[in-house]
Amino acid sequence: MGKSISIAARDGSGSFSGYLAVPASGHGPGVVIGQEIFGVNANMRSIADSYAEEGYVALVPDLFWRLEPNLELGYSEAEFGQAIGLFQRFDVDKGVDDIAAAMDALRALPEVEERGIGYVGFCLGGKLAYLTAARTDAACSVGYYGMGIEQMLDEAQNIKGRLVLHFAEQDVYCDASARAAIGEVLGKLPKAEIYSYPGVDHAFARPNGMHFDKPAALMAHERSIGALKREIGPDFDLSQLWEDHIHHEFAARDVPATMATMVAQPYVNHIPTMTGGVGQDELARFYRNHFVHGNPPDMKLVPISRTVGALQVVDEFVMCFTHTSEIDWMLPGVPPTGKYVEIPMLGVIRFRGDKLCHEHIYWDQASVLVQIGLLDRAGLPVAGVETAKKLLDESLESNTLMTKWKDSKGR
């Protein structure tokens, strides 16, 4: 989805290339993406594309152009050795100058809406995130597993914008003593955020890499986007976007309109029954044949609470319905019982830019089975409609399933 552009060096020594990715909207805040030691390869271009999906005009400058222009390395042992050699010869000061030139290039683009320019770097680019924060006017700099920052902490006093650094607990390139030194100094800055991810190693956020750790990568990405949004945007009304999606699902029952609210490769996972789908085709099939048109006509959602974050909405609600039709996604293979059901539910809805990316939907399946008569609750620590009733009225009795509760009275 991107293209190559030319960037003029600030020192007048020439120009170098950069990979530019623009949001589908055609505009957005500008973010420079700092490369790993492997050059502007497919992974870096993919990262730029993902930031474009988040709503940013993303530019990955070729920081090795002074050594070996247009380098693209993979991750074999030989290529790793070549990358290390380039890293050892790399002029860090020139690299920061070239990042500043890339920021200039973004500011000159008509697609860029400027409330400030952001920076996100990985590995080599993670180290340069710190120096970019100290030496440029970047509004927000984010670094992943940067190396050697503890040796340059005398520049911390120059940082004006927000700085976010992600470290791996098992990273031999930035060990516990280095992280402690960094935290001691940068922790005093009002707009610095320092995170360490337990049990993971260097490059934990590189998809398909040997150290990739999805939970840590997701958490770090959410923090990165949250920091960027606070400083430079973009601003999306996630609550309203979710409301629009719900309307198409439950009120209009319009599958094409529902799918139009989602990214190109969305997924839905109803956790208790593992129903849903991954990708436009499979998810559209699920919605069309097993969800939107199959729900009982009286199904409704009663909202309880909503939390809106940088990337996601967490909804707490009660779902009410009469089991007058087979509900494939909740009770697959169970004929209608005619029973009325109320269940507390929780939805975790993540967005990428202004499009819904995924839904994780949770509920107590045992409570559903009790209410429709398929599960005998006698002797089991499960409840029926009481779970929904108590969510709405906290004064209802607690601990009714605990046989020893009465024994602790007065103790």
Mean pLDDT score across all residues of the chain? 96
The CA-atom distances, in angstroms, between 30 and each of 103, 113, 120, 140, 347 are: 8, 7, 11, 11, 31
- Cα separation, 309 vs 221, in Å, equals 13
Stretch (H or E) spanning 302: strand 300-308
Range 311-315 average pLDDT: 97
pLDDT in tens, 248-280: 998 999 999 999 999 999 999 999 999 999 999
Residue 204 reports pLDDT greater than 90: yes
pLDDT in tens, 290-310: 999 889 999 999 999 999 999
The confidence score (pLDDT) of residue 107 equals 97
Q: Which of 364, 209, 202 is nearest to 273 (CA)?
A: 364
Range 203-215 average pLDDT: 95
Radius of gyration over alpha carbons of the chain, in Å?
Answer: 26
Query: Torsions phi, psi of 206, nearest 5?
Result: -90, 110
The pLDDT-based confidence of 114 (bands split at 50, 70, 90) is confident
Strand order in the sheet with 275-278: 275-278, 262-270, 355-363, 340-352, 312-322, 300-308
Handedness of CA 254, 256, 262, 267 (dihedral sign): positive
The confidence score (pLDDT) of residue 273 equals 98
Range 191-196 average pLDDT: 97
Residue 4 reports pLDDT greater than 80: yes
Residue 145 reports pLDDT greater than 80: yes
Residue 1 reports pLDDT greater than 80: no
The pLDDT-based confidence of 365 (bands split at 50, 70, 90) is very high
Region for 181 from its dihedrals, namely left if φ exceeds 0, alpha if ψ lies in -120 to 50, beta otherwise: alpha
Range 226-247 average pLDDT: 96
Handedness of CA 120, 123, 124, 126 (dihedral sign): positive
Residue with the two structure tokens 């089975």: 369
Query: Torsions phi, psi of 95, nearest 5?
Result: -60, -45
Alpha helices in 150-262 (DSSP H): 176-186, 214-232, 238-246, 255-260
pLDDT in tens, 371-402: 999 999 999 999 999 999 999 999 999 999 99
Range 25-34 average pLDDT: 97
Helix (H, G, I), strand (E, B) or coil at 147: coil
* Three-point CA angle 94, 184, 34, nearest 5°: 30
pLDDT in tens, 317-332: 999 999 999 999 999 9
Cβ–Cβ < 8 Å for 65, 91 = no
Q: Which of 141, 160, 139 is nearest to 149 (CA)?
A: 141
Residue 256 tokens read as 């094409």
Report how many helices (DSSP H) and strands (DSSP E) the chain contains, helices first.
11, 14
Instruction: Please provide the distance, in angstroms rounded to a whole number, between the alpha carbons at the two ends of the chain.
Output: 67
The confidence score (pLDDT) of residue 20 equals 98
Residue 409 tokens read as 């009275």
Report the catalytic residues: 171, 202
Q: Which of 194, 202, 146 is nearest to 34 (CA)?
A: 146
